[in-house]
Amino acid sequence: MSELRLSSIETRGVPGKKRYAMVIDLRRCIGCDGCMTACKAEYDVPLGVWRTWVPYRVVGTYPNVRKQFLPRLCNHCDDPPCVRSCPVGATYKVEDGGFVLQHYDRCIGCKACMASCPYNARFLLPKDRSYTEITGVVDKCTFCHHRVIQGMSPACVQTCIGRARIFGDLNDPNSEVARLVATLPTQVLRPEEGTKPNVFYIGADRNLTEHGRAVYNPPEVLERDRQAFDNHKA
Amino acid sequence: MLKMNRRTFIKVSGGTAAAVATAPSLLKAMEVELGGKDFSPVTYGERQAIPITCHVCNIQDGAIAFVENGRIVKLEGNPEHVSTRGRLCAKGNAGMWYSYDPDRILYPLKRVGARGEGKWKRITWDEALTEVAQKLDAAIKEDPNSIMLKFGRQRSGGALDRFMHTLGSATIVNHTSVCESSKKIGMEPTWGPDIETPDFANAKYILNFGSNIMEAAYFHNPYSQRIVEGTAENKAKLVTFDVRLSNTAGRSDEWIPVFPGTDGAVALAIGHVILRDDLQDSDFINTWTNVKVEELKTHYQQFTPEWASKLSGVPVETIERIAREFATTKPATTYTYRGPAKHLYGSYNEKACMMLPIMTGNIEVRGGYCMPRGMGWPQPQPEPPKPAKPSYLAHPDEYPLAGHKVSHLTPFWIAEGKQKINVYFSYQDNAVYTNPGAQAVWGKLYRDEKLIPFYVSMSPFMGEETALADIILPDCPYLERWEPESMPNSLWPWLGIRQPVIKPLGEARENRVMLRDIIHKLDADGSRGMKQYWNFKDGEDHMRHHFDNVPGLKEVGGLDFLKKHGVWPIYGKLDPATGKIVDKTGREIKADYGLHKKEIPEADMAGATIEANGAIMKNGKAVGVQRNGKNYVGFPTGNRLINVRVDQWAEYGFNPMPTFKRIPWHETMKDDEMIMTTYKINVHKQSRTAAVKWLAEIMHSNPVWMNTLTGNKIGVKTGDLVRVESAVGHLVTKAYVFEGIHPKVVAIPTAFGHWEYGRLATLKLKEKGGAFGAQDDPDLKNVWWTDNGVHPNAIIPVVADPIGGSQGWYDTVVKVTKAGPNDKYGDVQGNWEKHLEAFKETLRYAYTGDLHRKMHPEMAAWGGPESVKHKPAGGH
């Protein structure tokens, strides 16, 4: 039974248990940002916060310049610091599937989970939303739990133009994610944190995956631009 | 707060286990379905799915709208759609905000202050229609052509033409000259269609001239999917020529920066190397074109890599290498969009690029450069006759080859009195924002009540143009209307439909219905003969007239099939394992190649004669071409061949062979001068997405890009204010200094710096929402950005390609300096008099102008404009 477990027990290789993972093939990402707006629509995500986002950077010297995108979302870690740090058990890991989810009616909005997440994947919902009534609590990517349990892919995977996002059960050796992780070199973000992420990248530049903490700030690029450009406000 | 408690959650999870247990385990497959269904994350209830065709931009992706509690909450790709295969871009995913824009206009409005003052009175539909009909009545009596309709994006399937023809007016003006018209004119006389459909997925080499296909362009979503398949799965090499590092250039195997407007020279030099080294497909050239290999070799001798390198800045070795790679890697294709075409002689540039797949025989082959595959639908009968009298604005005399019109010169021609206007309609157009000169030119036109005595805007939004109207008729955004669709955005033809997902909000009426209502008002009893052309109950009824008799579709249910599936035919099923459409055996469906090599059925050859050159003639028209004893249909041109030599161009003193003309004012540029280009980004379209909150959130301002070298030279770093000055005006904006742009180029994207288009676009969020009847969006209280950018069009002068009529968007010479003490961020100034001078200057390049001969010394034998004066104006 998939009763909720307030535990960080990892589901790697546990027979009969699913361990959902996402593989993001950066060779195929065109930076269209389709995933960002698909996610906003799926959850009525308010302005200013993101469940998934696509930072980019320009590398090289003219004329040898390239653009790199790094789609980001919750890593649904096997050892999630957010679950450990939540004082009221509002954040939990679903054993069958590995989803790291949020219990909105338990959350007290203390932000301990936000502070503990090395990926800045969590945010506090503002008090105004277009039509959803859940506000003032911490929210995050759910791996589209409500779709996946109906046999559907997450919304970002569904709309991905480059088919860069692949989703499936890592415990199933026949799944596409299992095959990709087994046969291609993959990277995870901030492996040194020991979080055991379930989002794997193919072709990620080391400059993107092994940077200091600041690079993972959600509005990384936006923030820098905002600061630079705010200097001229009238 | 939350509606779901712990107990209900467990219940849902329990149900889940059963659902998962029955799911089949596919080898190597993404074992989750890729779409077609959606569920509420709060209640876990299934959302209602209605198939539509997306219309945020003009790609026409197959889509599904999901409805929950009567509200459109989610959009996604239609997994049954052969072309877009269940996926949508960022814009398509955000399209519901057209319907729910809190500043949307939901009832008819009448101006009460001065034009553009922003004072409106709500009126009833009957009052609005009565006033419009009265003005139309008077205009028809004077001259039907004094009724003008200008549209931007229209997918009415013939309704707009029907409306104007019913009124007897030929003054129908589109927007194509600010879009890609010279690309079309570069291609049409050569091989027939106005666009190519490259088979990117199966190509081994993709040479991209100035298209930003991974962000915008025709056809962003479906083509990006196939390019990724080509590069990631088929190991194709992608090479992009562009003046700046677009996402496409940034994701290409090679980005080759090129000086603006010189792509054509590079393409000719690549052709030179191919022909010089004998790497061409002689068989294809000799069989399918109207020139022979030797003739082509001689002609291309002049276009040396050294010559092109001097013009473009692309090293000689690079040109030589790319030429050899392109010619020896098969199959290969080129792709272009606005980069080469949006210049003074854009048509020549486009043709030069197109010559590469032609001379290497990559036409209509798997992995090559294919013709578009479209589908049509019949028009409801009866149809109004075409107006007897031509309209100058629709077919200006100076541009006889510009078959897609020269709409951006309209204000000057109206000001000159070339065509008197009594009633002006606009539909999904925003020329005041989107055209060169912007507010300085079009703003002046609309404010002048002598030139435009009565202006009706059919629009759901208070855009820059609509804000200057006399009457606003509240139109429906795409999720509330019926429209027939087809777009050649993949190698498989399809018909599609756009159907209302929700009822029109407020008093909004879809366009075809409001046009009908205007006609019915004018001709209430049918005695004027107008009403008979507008004989339908509603939008759906109109679609029945279009679709219920299409062979093949009729058998499966006609419109009812389209209402259920959104698209026809259904070629197969979307395979989650590959993301491709597969047939019953699980193999990817195959495209049909070699359209020109289809043979004419024996029965159709009766009465046909074969000419010495192989042309198959029937009733005085070439219907095919005979080669090696076989009767092929050939290409859809007058002689059924690819016309490398376009004789029609020579009649007007243009070079009929592939050629390049340098832009004269680029030759005389001073050291401190640069070229300013504009561009589109991944999350916006030209003018109509600034009020879509999720897109505005991702990008809302547009600093001017410049190279680090340039920044160092003028002492500017990222964030600094700069002044950009052209011959017709200046603007003040912020700089973004980095490595991804040609040092002689500065680039500013459009879609920003709106001064109308609602509170979000203008960031006037302290004002109350719902001024025109719409429901406010509480989420707008969360807007965190404070900069909405600067719009550059007012400082861009008009330039018209004398052949294709296209605007030379990327020809503007500017001076960029650090901003002075009196420069304020957001200053934009354009000068009407100077714009008028630019208009007069560009007319000098028309075939009737004095610079035409000077630009074409090779055409010295041409008889001059008098020799073709008898010819009627207008392509088609």
Residue A4 confidence (pLDDT): 36
- Residue A139 and residue A49 in contact, taking contact as beta carbons nearer than 8 Å: yes
Looking at residue B198, the DSSP 8-state letter turns out to be E
Residue B217 confidence (pLDDT): 81
Q: Cβ–Cβ of A40/B94 closer than 8 Å?
A: yes
Helix (H) or strand (E) holding A168: strand A165-169
Residue where a domain terminates, one of B305, B336, B370: B370
Residue A11 confidence (pLDDT): 67
Q: Domain check: are B697 and B783 in the same one?
A: yes
Examine residue B762 and state whether it is found in any structural domain, yes or no.
Answer: yes
Query: Domain locations in chain A?
Result: 20-229
CA distance A56 to chain B (A): 10
For the domain with range A20-229, which CATH number is right: 3.40.50.300, 3.30.70.20, 1.20.120.920, 3.40.50.1220?
A: 3.30.70.20
Residue B584: exposure state from Cβ atoms within 10 A (0-12, 13-18, ≥19) = exposed
- Encoded tokens for B638: 């007058």
Average pLDDT over residues B488-494: 96
Average pLDDT over residues A124-142: 97
Over the stretch B661-716, which tens digit does the pLDDT of each residue have? Answer: 999 999 999 999 999 999 999 999 999 999 999 999 999 999 999 999 999 999 99
- Residue B198 and residue B206 in contact, taking contact as beta carbons nearer than 8 Å: yes
Examine residue B587 and state whether it is found in any structural domain, yes or no.
Answer: no
Residue B7 confidence (pLDDT): 40
Q: Name the residue with higher pLDDT: A216 or B606.
A: B606
Looking at residue B642, the DSSP 8-state letter turns out to be B
Residue in B with minimal Cα distance to A160:
B87
Can you tell me which residue has the tokens 């001969």? B853
Return the CATH number at B521. Answer: 3.40.50.740
Residue B874 confidence (pLDDT): 46
Q: Cβ–Cβ of B41/A142 closer than 8 Å?
A: yes
Looking at the complex, does the CB of residue A67 fall below 8 Å from at least one CB of chain B?
A: yes
Q: How close are the terminal C-alpha atoms of chain B, in Å?
A: 61
Q: What mean pLDDT value characterizes chain B?
A: 94
> Angle at CA A80, nearest 5°, toward A74 and A82?
80
Q: CA A114, CA B455: separation in Å to the nearest integer?
A: 55
Q: How confident is the model at residue A225 (pLDDT cuts 50, 70, 90)?
A: very low
Q: Domain check: are B457 and B312 in the same one?
A: no
Q: Domain check: are B175 and B188 in the same one?
A: no
Mark out the alpha helices in B143-180 (DSSP H runs): 159-167
Cis geometry, peptide bond prior to residue B382 (ω within 30 degrees of 0) = yes
Residue A194 confidence (pLDDT): 87
Which has the closest alpha carbon to B568: B204, B63, B80?
B80
pLDDT at B773 over 70: yes
Domain count within chain B: 3
Residue A15 confidence (pLDDT): 77
Looking at the complex, does the CB of residue A197 fall below 8 Å from at least one CB of chain B?
A: no
Q: How confident is the model at residue B234 (pLDDT cuts 50, 70, 90)?
A: very high
Residue in B with minimal Cα distance to A29:
B228
pLDDT at B343 over 50: yes
Mutate to test the interface with B, among A6, A18, A20, A30 (most CBs of B within 10 A): A30
CA distance B456 to chain A (A): 33
Examine residue B356 and state whether it is found in any structural domain, yes or no.
Answer: yes
Q: Name the residue with higher pLDDT: A8 or B764.
A: B764
Q: Domain check: are B149 and B233 in the same one?
A: no
- Beta pairing partners, B813: B675
Q: Domain check: are B173 and B210 in the same one?
A: no
Q: Which domain does B837 fall in, by range? A: 669-843
Examine residue B240 and state whether it is found in any structural domain, yes or no.
Answer: yes
Which has the closest alpha carbon to B257: B675, B825, B781, B783?
B675
3-state secondary structure at position B40: coil
Residue B857 confidence (pLDDT): 97
- Beta pairing partners, B632: B599, B625
Examine residue B713 and state whether it is found in any structural domain, yes or no.
Answer: yes
- Encoded tokens for A28: 């195929």
Phi and psi for B519 in degrees, rounded to 5? -65, -40
- Beta pairing partners, B548: none
Q: How confident is the model at residue A218 (pLDDT cuts 50, 70, 90)?
A: low
Phi and psi for B738 in degrees, rounded to 5? -160, -170
Q: Domain check: are B124 and B265 in the same one?
A: no
ipTM beyond cut 0.90: yes
Helix (H) or strand (E) holding B709: helix B708-714
Q: CA B295, CA B612: separation in Å to the nearest integer?
A: 20
Q: The sheet that has B483-485: what strands, in order across it?
A: B483-485, B495-498, B567-568
Q: Name the residue with higher pLDDT: B708 or A59.
A: B708
Q: Cβ–Cβ of A32/B824 closer than 8 Å?
A: no
pTM here is 0.93
Average pLDDT over residues B380-389: 95
Contacts of B303 (CB under 8 A, 6+ apart): B265, B268, B269, B271, B272, B660
Q: Cβ–Cβ of A159/B87 closer than 8 Å?
A: yes
The amino acid at residue B61 is: D
Residue B690 confidence (pLDDT): 95
Q: Cβ–Cβ of B786/A30 closer than 8 Å?
A: no
Residue B381: exposure state from Cβ atoms within 10 A (0-12, 13-18, ≥19) = exposed
Q: CA B722, CA B731: separation in Å to the nearest integer?
A: 8
Q: Domain check: are B144 and B195 in the same one?
A: no
Neighbours of B477 (CB within 10 A): 25
Return the CATH number at B290. Answer: 3.40.228.10
Q: Domain check: are B204 and B174 in the same one?
A: no
Residue B91: exposure state from Cβ atoms within 10 A (0-12, 13-18, ≥19) = buried
Q: Name the residue with higher pLDDT: B423 or B218.
A: B423
Q: Domain check: are B278 and B171 in the same one?
A: no
Q: How confident is the model at residue B3 (pLDDT cuts 50, 70, 90)?
A: very low
Q: Name the residue with higher pLDDT: B254 or B32.
A: B254
- Residue A58 and residue B739 in contact, taking contact as beta carbons nearer than 8 Å: yes
Residue A1 confidence (pLDDT): 32
Over the stretch B135-190, which tens digit does the pLDDT of each residue have? Answer: 999 999 999 999 999 999 999 999 999 999 999 999 999 999 999 999 999 999 99
CA distance A88 to chain B (A): 14
Cis geometry, peptide bond prior to residue B209 (ω within 30 degrees of 0) = no
| Among the ranges given (A218-227, B109-118, B237-246, B625-634), the one the predictor scored with the smallest mean pLDDT | A218-227
Q: CA B599, CA B366: separation in Å to the nearest integer?
A: 19
- Beta pairing partners, A72: A53
Looking at the complex, does the CB of residue A139 fall below 8 Å from at least one CB of chain B?
A: no
Over the stretch B292-318, which tens digit does the pLDDT of each residue have? Answer: 999 999 999 999 999 999 999 999 999
Examine residue B733 and state whether it is found in any structural domain, yes or no.
Answer: yes
How far from chain centre, in Å, is Cα A225? 23
Q: Domain check: are B236 and B364 in the same one?
A: yes
- Encoded tokens for A51: 């469940």
- Residue B207 and residue B368 in contact, taking contact as beta carbons nearer than 8 Å: no
pLDDT at B346 over 90: yes
CA distance B599 to chain A (A): 37
